Amino acid sequence: MQFPFEQFPALSAIGICRHVFTQRIAGIDVSHDKAEALNRLDAAHREIRNAIGVGDWPLFTAKQIHGNKIAVVDEVGSARRADRGRRSAASLPQQEFPASDGIITNQRGIALGVRVADCCAVYIVDPRTPAIGLVHSGRKGTELGVVPNATRQMIDRFGSDPSSMIVQLSPCIRPPHYEVDFAAEIIRQCRALGMKEIHDSGVCTACDLERYYSYRAEKGKTGRMLALIGMR
């Protein structure tokens, strides 16, 4: 069975990345709490990872607490949060970083993932260094500057140049279904840092419940879309 997902032309055109944004999976009852919904979606999401060629790559995800902390998977093969110790990435085929809302790396052959249902998944690619980042940014995370924090850490740790970065915003909730247009604020923040190539899907998750999960529209009992990116 082929499960539905989408890919963004701006990221596909770069050539160094594999990425995906999953859609609603028909036939799976996700009208449960987050943990149970993710458990029910796990097999389908694994199939999608296989379909885009990253099924055997180590997967690093963020716990997502609506904050601005960024985890780092660095060039010496270690995985860490900025204020924590390190562990070997090779020994961790799947790891979730606690108290983090984004991940950055300059390693090839690993996948970064966040899960969203109205919040925005923000993909950041520096094709020159190269390095990548993936950030979960909803209203609170945007107010706390989680995307600028990820960008600054890519600059500090990997030597990335914001003017060379490519940014892609996923589908997320937008007015009139939500009172704040945090996608527009994310774009403003990126431009303020000197990022020039910023792409927005422009799609509202709450407007199309046949394709997407929406936490607000479905009153919290719903699934999550998996956003994923990795460098090959």
**E strands, 5-100, where?**
5-6, 17-22, 59-62, 70-73, 78-81, 86-88, 94-97
What distance in Å separates the CA atoms of residue 134 and residue 101, rounded to the nearest whole number?
Answer: 9
What distance in Å separates the CA atoms of residue 18 and residue 41, rounded to the nearest whole number?
Answer: 21
Q: Is the pLDDT of residue 28 over 80?
A: yes
pLDDT given for residue 132 in this prediction: 98
Q: Where are the domains of the chain?
A: 5-231
Taking residues 48-66, report their average pLDDT.
96
Model confidence, pTM: 0.92
What distance in Å separates the CA atoms of residue 96 and residue 81, rounded to the nearest whole number?
Answer: 11
Helix 146-158 / helix 182-192 crossing angle, nearest 10 deg? 30
End-to-end CA distance of the chain: 26
The dihedral sign for the CA sequence 12, 204, 220, 145: positive
Q: What are phi and psi of 28, to 5 degrees?
A: -110, 120
pLDDT given for residue 74 in this prediction: 86
Task: Give the range among 80-89, 204-213, 215-224 with minimum mean pLDDT.
Answer: 80-89
Superfamily of 5-231 according to CATH: CNF1/YfiH-like putative cysteine hydrolases (3.60.140.10)
What distance in Å separates the CA atoms of residue 85 and residue 57, rounded to the nearest whole number?
Answer: 23
What distance in Å separates the CA atoms of residue 210 and residue 23, rounded to the nearest whole number?
Answer: 9
**Predicted confidence band at 34 (pLDDT cuts at 50, 70, 90)?**
very high
DSSP code of residue 202: -
Please name every residue paired with 6 in a beta bridge, in sequence order, or none if there are none. Answer: 21
Q: Is the pLDDT of residue 161 over 70?
A: yes
Where does residue 97 rank: exposed (0-12), middle (13-18), buried (19+ CB within 10 A)? Answer: buried
Q: Is the pLDDT of residue 66 over 50?
A: yes
**Predicted confidence band at 85 (pLDDT cuts at 50, 70, 90)?**
very low
Mean of the per-residue pLDDT values of the chain: 92
pLDDT given for residue 135 in this prediction: 98
pLDDT-above-70 percentage for the chain: 91
DSSP code of residue 207: G
pLDDT-above-90 percentage for the chain: 90
pLDDT given for residue 2 in this prediction: 84
Cβ pair 212, 181 in contact under 8 A: no
pLDDT given for residue 94 in this prediction: 79
**Predicted confidence band at 76 (pLDDT cuts at 50, 70, 90)?**
very low
